[in-house]
Amino acid sequence: MSISPKMTLLEEYALVARALSAPARLMLLEQLAQSERRVEALAEKTGLTVANSSQHLQQLRRAGLVTSRRDGKAIIYRLTDARTLTLLGVLGDVAERNLAQVGEILRGLSNGEDAPEPINRNELAARLSEGSVTVLDVRPADEFADAHIPGALNMAVTELGKFLTDLDRNTEIVAYCRGPYCVYAHQAVAFLRKNGFNARRLDGGLPEWREDGRAIQATS
Amino acid sequence: MSISPKMTLLEEYALVARALSAPARLMLLEQLAQSERRVEALAEKTGLTVANSSQHLQQLRRAGLVTSRRDGKAIIYRLTDARTLTLLGVLGDVAERNLAQVGEILRGLSNGEDAPEPINRNELAARLSEGSVTVLDVRPADEFADAHIPGALNMAVTELGKFLTDLDRNTEIVAYCRGPYCVYAHQAVAFLRKNGFNARRLDGGLPEWREDGRAIQATS
DNA sequence: CTATCATTCAATTATTCGATTGAATGATGT
DNA sequence: ACATCATTCAATCGAATAATTGAATGATAG
């Protein structure tokens, strides 16, 4: 079947693409983009069984998208490098702009509010150093604890209502979450705007911010 | 199965990735990156049957990677936009750097010669305006006729031996072909270097050159 | 209006994939 | 050296996919 080098190459490229072609594996990659994790932790975060996670992770490893190492009794998986992150971002970009259904869902998350353009990371960095912005991390608390943008507040989207009084209505709010596939930031921005706040989404999530080489606040 | 918007989104992203997960479709996309084409022409170029090409093209269309229009009796397919090209490039990049087998094949194409770093498109453009470089288009003649880098010579890799005397040994040669998945340029560079020429590969092929907004020489 | 013909559809077959279950592995840490 | 336990493997099932064949579609061109 694949005697010529050309065909072998194409099959390898196809293998990488196939690794991205299951929602379960995209969830795993999104998690790994936050930080390296053990199989069990990944299984819990994604709702997959451990055995199933393990098999998906092996497919991702065969495709070169993740690598693993041992730490004590656990195997720790992580993204091979920043190119994996780039690939995920471009994939989301293509889908968002070329698939009508994706655009609709993303707009639907805004719940009637028309969302403003996201703020880019350069601009946020500048605004942060001025102190003229409130940064909101809407990921689960454990992921926030692991690492976040310095000075960010952590509020789960579902709890946002309870903390509205804590937020300064005169300062622009920038919300972010995991990255291109995370919907929390969209929802948070819509909710805040509906309640009269000036809120925008950050372009990219924590992984992209970190990949830019910017400072993060980490626990360990 | 997919009630939550999050899952629906992931399924859509996975659909795009799945579209890239078959060698046949990657070949079709490589062809479409050269120029828009009819189904029959694509089938001939890729060696697929017409019916099979049609079905693959429909999958690519569902994934938003290509679009089609009618021209007379024919349906003309083309890449939806430059993002598709970017996606293909990043996919190749990940595979080349993370999969050992891909690296080996690409090195194997050089046939013992160690290939120099490719020249980037900015540099080639500068060198072209100086006239200090010979540009070699190693794609098939019909694709060359369709469009090529201005001033480029067209030689199929297999015919390269016959034309060695036509090439100036004192001018550096830059070879290019279809893009990241095309192996002709690698082979041409190896052959030329083995024969004492100073040759390098262009980073990216004609589609990337065109996408940069640079001048091309076209027939029509 | 009708014949033409490029493209698409439909039905089939062989293959591959994803999820599940329970057992096996094998490096750790005592 | 051995027990532990996170991870992986193996086997199974149901579903989805790619390629092939031949027929159907449907817009064009005369």
Q: Per-residue pLDDT for A2 more than 70?
A: no
Q: Where are the beta strands (DSSP E) in A51-176?
A: 66-71, 74-79, 133-137, 147-148, 153-154, 172-176
Q: What predicted TM-score, i.e. pTM, was given to this entire model? A: 0.93
Give the residue among B18, B31, B14 at the shortest CA–CA distance from B140.
B31
Interface ipTM: 0.93
Task: Give the 3-state secondary structure of residue B109.
Answer: helix
Condensed to tens digits (0 to 9), the pLDDT of residues B87-112 reads 999 999 999 999 999 999 998 888 77
Q: Is residue B93 part of a domain?
A: no
In chain B, how many domains are there? 2
Amino acid, single-letter form, for residue A189: V
The CATH number covering residue B49 comes to: 1.10.10.10
Evaluate whether residue B90 is within a structural domain.
Answer: no
> Contact at 8 Å (CB) between A66 and A26?
no
Structure token digits, residue B38 = 């009819």
In the predicted structure, residue B1 carries a pLDDT above the cut 50: no
> Tens digits of per-residue pLDDT, B60-88?
999 999 999 999 899 999 999 999 999 99
Q: Taking a C-beta distance cutoff of 8 angstroms, is the pair B63, B28 a contact?
A: no
Say if A149 falls within a structural domain.
Answer: yes
Q: Is residue A68 located within the same domain as residue A145?
A: no
Note whether B32 and B62 are same-domain residues: yes
Distance from CA of A1 to the nearest CA of B (A): 12
Given a cut of 60, whether residue B2 has pLDDT beyond it is no
| Within-domain flag for B149 | yes
Contact B10 A26 (CB under 8 A): yes
**Residues of chain B above pLDDT 90, percent:** 85
What percentage of chain B exceeds 70 in pLDDT? 98
**Which positions ≥6 away from A25 have C-beta within 8 Å?**
A19, A56, A59, A60
B105 and B148 part of one domain: yes
B109 shares its domain with B140: yes
Are both A154 and A193 inside the same structural domain?
yes
Please report residues of A whose CB lies closer than 8 A to that of B95. Answer: 12-13, 15-16, 64
Q: A68 with A76: CB under 8 angstroms?
A: yes
Same domain flag for A35 and A117: no
Q: Choose among A22, A98, A105: nearest Cβ to B14.
A: A22
End of a domain among A32, A62, A80? A80
Which residue places its CA closest to the C1' of nucleotide C19? A52
For residues B58 and B121, state if they share a domain. no
Q: Is residue A94 part of a domain?
A: no
Which amino acid is present at B73?
Answer: K
Residue B135 lies in a domain: yes
Contact A25, A56 (CB under 8 A): yes
- Given a contact cutoff of 8 angstroms between Cβ atoms, the answer to whether B195 and B179 are in contact is no
Instruction: Write the residue in A80, A90, A91 that is nearest to B98 by C-beta.
Output: A80
From chain B, the residues in CB contact with A26 under 8 A are: 10, 13-14
Are B159 and B66 contained in the same domain? no
Residues A116 and A212 in one domain: yes
A70 with A161, same domain: the answer is: no
What are the CA-CA distances from residue B126 to residues A162, B153, B169, B194, B198 (Å)? Answer: 60, 18, 20, 27, 18
| Amino acid type, A123 | E
The CA distance from B82 to the nearest CA of chain A, in Å, is 9
The pLDDT mean for chain B works out to 93
Both A166 and A213 in one domain: the answer is: yes
Question: Is B92 part of any domain?
Answer: no
Determine the 3-state secondary structure of B147 from DSSP.
strand
What mean pLDDT is predicted for residues A30-49?
96
Does residue A59 sit in the same domain as residue A159?
no
Q: What is the pLDDT of residues B159-173, one digit of tens each?
A: 999 999 989 999 999
Domain of residue A152 covers 110-218
Q: How far apart are CA B188 and CA B173, in angstroms?
A: 10
Last residue within a domain, chosen from B51, B80, B109: B80
Q: Rounded to whole angstroms, how far apart are CA atoms A135 and B44?
A: 55
Residue A67 lies in a domain: yes
